[in-house]
Amino acid sequence: MTRRATVRGSHKARAATPDRALQRARVFWSGRSQAVRLPKAFRFSTAEVTIRREGRRVVIEPVEVPRDAMGWPQAFWSLAGSAPEFDLGDRRAPHERDDALAART
């Protein structure tokens, strides 16, 4: 079942389903790239998306990066143990140089 929604400031009505409202977005140029200004309801919370064509449609999907409880990408931890021969040294040992920001006496 479709419902009729009236666009504010217009006498025209458009058909829209509650779960798939049709909205428009502005296409513009940014440098030498074409860009689309997405309405607020369609914003992504990720820094990267995938894009593909399906016939005449362009499908944009967010790239979800799995993260741990602290917000670090889980792929980081798979790299962290990849060089076990790398010696970090004694992390409790004092620095070899004096603190440059410490007050001098």
Write the CA distances from 86 to 11, 78, 79, 83, 102, integer angstroms.
Answer: 70, 15, 12, 6, 30
* Beta carbons of 46 and 62 less than 8 angstroms apart: yes
Flag whether 88 is in a domain.
Answer: no
Strand partners, 6: 13
Structural domains in the chain (count)? 1
pTM to 2 decimal places: 0.47
DSSP state of 41: G
- pLDDT tens for each residue of 48-93: 899 999 999 999 999 988 888 888 788 877 776 666 666 666 667 7
Flag whether 11 is in a domain.
Answer: no
Domain residues for the domain of 32 are: 23-80
